[in-house]
Structure formats: structure tokens, C-alpha cells
């Protein structure tokens, strides 16, 4: 299944739909015992959570810059958290930044 889109790439809009092809990834995801797969390693500034049983996209969030990083998960006081970094990628012509983002599951 393709992951990510090219809507943030290039100096001008592409004249055809290329969003079905996905984008190169730099970074890994994490699978949980609860059936989630969370990944932020694409160049379209988006972290995503998928259902591992059917691949359905359950949630996504637009980060300030590209993730190109792995995702960590931990539990604290009974809540599960996901943490990733977003730093962009200067050598791919992308905006850079210095962000640490943390998310939790709703109960």
C-alpha cells in the first residue's frame, strides 16, 4: 500500500494525480499490542495510525515539517503515548525544524 503523498513536493503543482504512488520513507513505525501501526517517516509532514487488522487509516496529524523519523510508544499512568520528532530534510529541499511531538490515545 502506498504511504504518503506528493502534495508538498516540488516548486509547482504537478499536472496529474500522483498521490496514489506514495513517497520515499525515512523512518520506521511502531506496532502495538492493541492493533495499531503508527508511522511518521514520510516527506509529507504527516504522522498516521493504521488498524493492523485491515490497514484502515484511523488517524493522521499534519506536523510542522517532515518526520523522517521513527515513532516510540510508552505507557504512563495507564495511558499510551506516541512520540516522534519532526526535523525536515534540508538535502531533499524540504523545510527544516526542531520539534518533538507527543500524542496520546483517547480513553
Number of domains in the chain: 1
- CA 46 to the chain's CA centroid: 4
User: Looking at the whole model, is its pTM more than 0.85?
Assistant: no
Report if residue 51 sits inside a domain.
yes
- pLDDT band, very low/low/confident/very high, at 7 (cuts 50, 70, 90): low
Domain limits at 63?
Answer: 29-104
Residues 8-65: tens digit of each pLDDT:
555 555 544 555 566 666 778 899 999 999 998 877 788 999 999 999 999 999 998 8
Task: Out of 73-77, 79-83, 90-94, pick the least confident.
Answer: 90-94
Report if residue 5 sits inside a domain.
no
Burial readout 9-38 (b: 16 or more C-beta within 10 A, e: otherwise): eeeeeeeeeeeeeebebebebbeeeeebbb
| Average pLDDT, rounded, for the chain | 80
Residues 49-62: tens digit of each pLDDT:
999 999 999 999 99
Residue 90 — φ and ψ, nearest 5°?
A: -60, -40
Report if residue 18 sits inside a domain.
no
Instruction: Determine contact, residues 71/30, Cβ cutoff 8 Å.
Output: yes
Report if residue 20 sits inside a domain.
no
Query: Cα–Cα distance between 24 and 57 in angstroms, integer?
Result: 19
Amino acid at each position: 500500500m502506498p504511504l504518503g503523498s506528493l502534495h508538498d513536493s516540488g516548486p509547482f503543482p504537478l499536472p496529474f494525480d500522483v498521490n496514489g504512488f506514495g513517497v520515499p520513507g525515512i523512518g520506521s513505525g511502531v506496532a502495538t499490542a492493541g492493533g495499531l501501526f503508527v508511522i511518521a517517516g514520510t516527506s509529507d509532514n504527516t504522522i498516521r495510525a493504521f488498524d493492523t487488522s485491515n490497514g484502515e487509516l484511523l488517524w493522521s496529524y499534519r506536523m510542522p515539517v517532515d518526520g523522517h523519523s521513527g515513532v516510540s510508544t510508552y505507557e504512563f499512568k495507564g495511558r499510551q503515548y506516541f512520540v516522534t520528532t519532526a526535523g525536515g530534510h534540508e538535502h531533499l529541499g524540504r523545510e527544516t525544524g526542531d520539534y518533538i511531538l507527543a500524542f496520546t490515545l483517547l480513553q
